[in-house]
Amino acid sequence: LTILSIESSCDDTACALVRYDGTVLAEQIYSQKEHIQFGGVVPEIAARAHLSHLSALVQKTLAQAQIDWKEIDAIAATCGPGLIGGVIVGSSFAKGLALAQNLPFIGINHIEAHALTVRIPNISPLQVNFPYLLFLTSGGHCQCINVTNIGEYQRLGGTIDDAAGEAFDKVAKMLGLSWPGGPALEALAKEGDENMFTLPRPLYGRPGCDFSFSGLKTAVANLLTDYETTDVLPRQFAADVAASFQKAITTAIINRLENAIKLAPNSTLLATAGGVAANQYLRKHLLALAEKYNLPFIAPPMKYCTDNAVMIGWAAIEILHQASKHHKLMNDISMLPRPRWPLSEMSQRFDV
Ligand code: ATP
Ligand code: FE
């Protein structure tokens, strides 16, 4: 079983060829630079950039693997959730390929693909069995999921306002760092004193596993009221703010995840995915949390934490495998792209 997959839900245009055993035969990604001058992703520009790069990217992927269409069994693409323009471009392109090559089309939920990434045999250091806990943290999402089977995702909690990546990006912007701010903020925080400022840790100590970051963001803004937005901040001050922010957001996240572990006591491990999972300070504390509860901790390599097409291909493989257990042939050619697509709906695809 070999899948050609496409991802286009945000600002990465990506294509991959993935085999049933997790072997990545080829992968290509174009991270759109069109948005840098705007300091954030512009949906309309993203959709147009997907359109102009996708065709060449697919051809490069096929050339890289030196594969014949006869060896490809299905075409998969993100059908949501995400920026709808990009999702329409990628999924329509994939459906066109599927029709032209007479192959089934598999529509993938982007979040489900992030959740299953830790199960890719060649990428994961461990064999990941169900159930496991996934902390998904990116620019657009922040949620904790109990993954109990393919298609069965119990959402334990999620953000009630901003995603963690959004908070990193907005605070970074206030500190005068360039977009995307997360990596720049982490670098600056290394020079700072994390105990210099006491910032709120939203929802700390409350029951449940929801997250909230907007109050923390406002608290940082309040530290900066002595400066104009155009001022260059004193470097040490900015570094101390960055370090104090990173400590506060991490402390809040760890507290919420500790509740998640208690809510899902059968979990076999703690996994993470999403761009914010690149943060080494956060990773260190996630590892310590997992160790406290005797759980292994897995974070996929960075390029598979952020948006990529390999995870889309792998999700298709898992879904096809699960469907075959239900004696069900899959073809989602009439599936419509969706800006929102709750994980709770994913089990429906196996209904007979
Ligand atoms: P989606 O939410 O649909 O997955 P996205 O493009 O926002 O889309 P990612 O590419 O997974 O998601 O993650 C990007 C986010 O991760 C940005 O907000 C970025 O600032 C943040 N990020 C990346 N590296 C770090 C880091 N070292 N520390 C903190 N945040 C980081
Ligand atoms: Fe993503």
* Kind of pairing between the strands at 152-158 and 142-149: antiparallel
Instruction: Tell me, yes or no, if the pTM score tops 0.90.
Output: yes
Task: Point out the ligand 1 atom lying closest to the alpha carbon of residue 179.
Answer: 20
pLDDT by residue (tens digit) across 6-59?
999 999 999 999 999 999 999 999 999 999 888 889 999 999 999 999 999 999
Residue scoring higher pLDDT (6 or 329): 6
Q: In DSSP terms, which residues pair with 12 in a beta bridge?
A: 31
Residue 229 is predicted with a pLDDT of: 85
User: For 171-204, b where at least 16 C-beta lie within 10 A, e where not — what string?
Assistant: bbbbbbbebbbbebbbebbeebebeebebbbbbe
- pLDDT band (50, 70, 90) for residue 328: confident
Residue 151 is predicted with a pLDDT of: 95
Q: For all residues of the chain together, what is the average pLDDT?
A: 96
Residue 307 is predicted with a pLDDT of: 95
Nearest CA owner, ligand 1 atom 7: 139
Structure tokens at 67: 């594969």
Average pLDDT over every residue of 230-254: 96
Q: Would you say residue 230 has pLDDT above 90?
A: no
> CA 148, 341, 133: angle at the middle one, nearest 5?
25
Average pLDDT over every residue of 225-248: 95
Q: In DSSP terms, which residues pair with 145 in a beta bridge?
A: 134, 155
- Give the CA distances from residue 127 to residues 144, 274, 348, in Å, rounded to whole numbers and listed in that order: 20, 20, 26
% of the chain surpassing 90 pLDDT: 92
% of the chain surpassing 70 pLDDT: 100
Nearest CA owner, ligand 1 atom 5: 139
List, in order, residues 6 or more apart from 204 with CB less than 8 Å away. Answer: 251, 252, 255
Q: How far is the CA of 326 from the centre of ligand 1 (A)?
A: 36
Residue 210 is predicted with a pLDDT of: 98
Query: Which residue in 104, 100, 210, 92 sits closest to 159, CA to CA?
Result: 210
Residue 351 is predicted with a pLDDT of: 84
Residue 264 is predicted with a pLDDT of: 97
Q: How far is the CA of 114 from the centre of ligand 2 (A)?
A: 7
Q: How far is the CA of 331 from the centre of ligand 1 (A)?
A: 32
- How many other CB atoms are there within 10 angstroms of residue 71's CB atom? 11
Q: Using a 6 Å CB cutoff, which residues line ligand 1?
A: 9-11, 82, 138-141, 165, 168-169, 180-183, 186, 274-276, 278-279, 306-307
CA-based Rg of the chain, rounded to a whole angstrom? 21
Average pLDDT over every residue of 65-80: 97
pLDDT by residue (tens digit) across 89-142?
999 999 999 999 999 999 999 999 999 999 999 888 899 999 999 999 999 899
Average pLDDT over every residue of 71-92: 98
pLDDT by residue (tens digit) across 132-190?
999 999 998 999 999 999 999 999 999 999 999 999 999 999 999 988 899 999 999 99
Residue 291 is predicted with a pLDDT of: 98
Around ion ligand 2, residues with a beta carbon closer than 5 Å are 138, 307
Q: Which ligand is nearest to the CA of 82?
A: 1
